[in-house]
Amino acid sequence: MAKKTYKDTDGTSFHGVTIRATVEQLTNAFGEPDDNNTGEDKVNFVWDMETEDGEVFTIYDWKEGRPLKLDEYVVWHIGARDKSTSNTAEDEILKKL
């Protein structure tokens, strides 16, 4: 099952896989994100994660351009090193939500 990681997530990128959830749902499932919820950066929230198999990925909002409400539904990008890991991450995230 997907879990927070302290491994290096450099080299991850978006491969077209998204999920829809609230900040509250993701925080309840995966713990506190790194956040800068000002709307001034490309990303307000990010979770550094890994799959059951130890492959790293990230969950992040992209260019919302505004502070996010914790209970609002947002489309989150999944960043990974390849499409397969993105798909695995999506499955594991949805099972935990």
* pLDDT band, very low/low/confident/very high, at 36 (cuts 50, 70, 90): very high
**What average pLDDT does the chain have?**
97
pTM of the model: 0.97
* pLDDT band, very low/low/confident/very high, at 39 (cuts 50, 70, 90): very high
The token pair that represents 39 in the structure block: 């709307």
Mean pLDDT of 41-45: 97
Cβ-contact 26, 7 below 8 angstroms: no
Rounded-to-integer distance, Cα 57 and Cα 50, Å: 6
pLDDT tens, position by position, 48-66: 999 999 999 999 999 999 9
